[in-house]
Amino acid sequence: MTEENKNSQDPSDQYPKPPFPKQDQQPPGTESDLEPKADHGEESYKGSGKLIGKKAIITGGDSGIGRAVAIAFAREGADVLISYLDDSEDEDAKTTAKYVEKAGRKAVLIKGDIQDEAHCQSIIDSAVSELGGLDILVNNAAFQMARKSLSEIPSEEWERTFRTNITAMFFLCKAAEPHLKPGSSIINTTSVNAYSPSEQLLPYAATKGAIQNFTANLSQILLMNGKGIRVNAVAPGPIWTPLIPSTIPEHEEFGKDTPMERAGQPAEVAPAYVFLASNDASYIAGATIPVTGGRITI
C-alpha cells in the first residue's frame, strides 16, 4: 500500500482486525512469536527533526509501544536509552537498538527490573554518562495479568503490578529530576483502563488510574517550583503487542470492542509521544492524549 493510499484510507480498515490466532507466550512475550506481526513504524515513520540533539530514556523500550517510540525518537534526532526487563527480551532489545543506530543515533541498552529503586537510579545514571545528559523520560514499562475474579489475584501479583507500574515511575522521576533542564519532558503511559477499567485487569487498571493522577499532580509541582519540566501522559487503548497474548488468555477478539473494531498498532501511538516530547507541545502540561480507536476517555 502506498503512503498516499494509507493517508486516504478508512482508519477502521488500516490494520488487521480480529480474530487473531490463538497463541501461547510467557510474560512479557516477544515480538518474534507475535502473530500477526506488529507495526512499529519500521517502514513508515519519517522524522522531521523535532528532537534533534535530545537524550531520551524509554522503559520497556525493547518491544511494543516502547520500540515504536524508540524508532520515532531516533528518526526525529534523539539518542535513546532502552530499558528492558530480562534475558528473554535480549533479542527484541537488540533489534530496537539496531533501528535507533540505523537512524544515525546512539542506542544504549540496560537490562534489569525497575521494581528495584537502585536499578532505576542506574538507568538515570547510565543515560547521563553514556548519552551525555537527559531531556526526555518515557515511563512506558508495565506489568499486567488477566484474572477473572478477585480471589484469583495473588497478593504478590498485586504488589508486583503496583511496584512496576507506578512505584517505579516515582523512583525514575525522582532520580531524573536533578538532570532535567527547563524544556525537558516526562511522558507517562497510562491507559484507556484509567477511564473504563477492564473487569479482568483490576490491579493494572488501578495503577493506570494512579498514573493519571500522578501525571497531573507532578506536572503542577514541577512547573510551580520553577523547574520548567512538562509532564504529560498518553493513554493507549488496545494495542497489539507481545504483552497481550502473554497475559490475556482470550486474546483472539482483542480490540473488537473499539468503535474501529480492531486493535491499534504501536506505530499509531508513537506520534503522540513525539508530539509531547517536542516543542510543538510547549504549552501542554498535565494533559493526557488518548489513542484508543475511538473508545471514550471522558
8 Å CB contact between 122 and 110: yes
For residues 233 and 138, give the distance between their C-alpha atoms in angstroms, rounded to a whole number: 9
Check residue 41 and report its DSSP letter.
S
CB 240 within 8 A of CB 294: no
Q: Which of 45, 204, 273, 283 is catalytic?
A: 204
Tell me the β-bridge partners of 264: 239
3-state secondary structure of 172: helix
CB 61 within 8 A of CB 90: no
Amino acid at 223: L
Whether 194 contacts 270, CB under 8 Å: no
- What interhelical angle do 168-176 and 202-224 show, nearest 10? 20
Which one, of 81, 80, 72, 78, lies nearest residue 52 by Cα? 78
Give CA–CA dist 194/69, Å, rounded: 21
- Helix (H) or strand (E) holding 6, with range, is helix 3-7
Closest by CA to 288, choosing from 187, 204, 139, 205, is: 187
Is-catalytic flag, 45? no
| Sole residue written with cell 525514575 | 172
Three-state DSSP string of 164-225: HHHHHHHHHHHHHHHHCCCCCEEEEECCHHHCCCCCCCHHHHHHHHHHHHHHHHHHHHHHHC
User: Which segments of 19-146 does DSSP mark as H helices, in order?
Assistant: 64-75, 90-102, 117-126
Task: Provide the grid cell at 51.
Answer: 528532537
| Active-site residue list | 204
